[in-house]
Amino acid sequence: MSTPESGRSGRAAPFLKWAGGKQRLLDLYLPYFPAQGERYIEPFMGSAAVFFRLRAENRFREYVLSDSNFELVNCYRVVRDNLDALIEKLADHRDRHGKAHYEKVRAMDQRGLGLFTPVERAARFIYLNKTCYNGLWRVNRFGRFNVPMGRYTNPPILDEAKLRAASAALQGVDIRCEDFRMVETSGLARPGDVVYFDPPYHPASKTANFTAYQPDMFGVVEQGELAGMFRRLAALGCTVLLSNSDTPFVRAIYAGLETVPVQARRAINSRAASRGAVPELLILGQRA
């Protein structure tokens, strides 16, 4: 049976669970993306749901994916470049899975992840993603992963078909580990590029905790900087799209731009009771 995560008819689809993942919203979002273009840039890639669909539809000739989470980026590079070795390590994690193994793998960062190969780090990343509570990636202020093990009977630690499809889709893709600001500061974005920003969302309430991906916060200052950059890229001649929560703050910083309300159903939320539809905005920017 096809699930939202497995993609349609064997197409490449996200292989990670990721807070704010866009897989369930693709059919609502995709009509707003250009049908064809030269280059697509996604600076907050997360599980890269939008990229996988655009790539399957062959909409662009070149793709640049980026995220500031190094473990995530390393994982994509290994899936692209060293898949067989990764599959072997994941099979080993699958065979050893249990509480003691989980804790041992989680604690690898106490020794310093620099001691491990990129393949070992990518396997650790996927293993923790599949077995930790809710698939959350959360590190403490020392950068150590601190999510407890989830209660899953048979977590999909190794889904070889999905990884092979993702690896094929990632061939030739430029995968970077950068802060979002590099899109502008490094001169990456050029007129004609299509840039999709899916940043950590501005919290809809004081208790919402959707910005907790990394120790460095994504607060109102970053949201404001991103909004400024969004307008400058549109003025430069890029087609710019951005998702965020539908809050008065977000509406204010993108005032005057075309906004499309979208009803999101979140996949990751610690309280099942609040897994309802959450209003989001898709913001569109193009040179006038």
Ligand X SMILES: C[S@@+](CC[C@H](N)C(=O)[O-])C[C@H]1O[C@@H](n2cnc3c(N)ncnc32)[C@H](O)[C@@H]1O
In this structure, are residues 12 and 54 in contact, taking their beta carbons and an 8 Å threshold?
no
Q: How far is the CB of 198 from ligand X (least distance, A)?
A: 4
Per CB under 6 A, 74 contacts ligand X: no
Q: How far apart are CA 286 and CA 265, in angstroms?
A: 28
Options 13, 15, 21, 278; binder of ligand X; rule CB under 6 A: 21
What are the φ and ψ backbone dihedral angles of 212, each rounded to 5 degrees?
-85, 65
Which helix (H) or strand (E) segment is 174 a member of? Answer: strand 174-177
Minimum CB separation of residue 210 from ligand X in Å reads 7
How many whole angstroms separate alpha carbon 268 and alpha carbon 282? 20
Stretch that binds ligand X, among 54-62, 99-107, 167-175, 193-201 (CB under 6 A): 193-201
| 179 near ligand X (CB under 6 A) | yes
Residues in 84-143 at the binding interface with ligand X, rule: CB under 6 A: none
For the segment 223-282, give every residue that binds ligand X (CB under 6 A).
Answer: none
Residue 179 Cα distances to 33, 45, 199, 222, angstroms: 23, 11, 11, 11
- Distance, CA of 217 to CA of 239 (rounded, Å): 27
Tokens coding 95 = 């065979």
Mapping DSSP to helix (H, G, I), strand (E, B) and coil, where does residue 274 land?
Answer: helix
Judged by CB under 6 A, does residue 67 bind ligand X? yes
- Asked whether position 167 contacts ligand X by CB under 6 A, the answer is no
Per CB under 6 A, does 217 bind ligand X? no
Q: How far is the CB of 181 from ligand X (least distance, A)?
A: 7
* DSSP 8-state secondary structure symbol assigned to residue 172: T
Contacts with ligand X in 25-54 (CB under 6 A)? 43-44, 46-47, 49
Distances (CA, A) of 216 to 68, 119, 188: 10, 25, 23
CB of 22 to ligand X, least distance (A): 4
**Interface with ligand X: number of residues (CB under 6 A):** 20
| Nearest residue (CB) to ligand X, 70 versus 116 | 70
Give the interface with ligand X as residue ranges (CB under 6 A): 18, 20-22, 43-44, 46-47, 49, 67-69, 179-180, 198-200, 213-214, 218
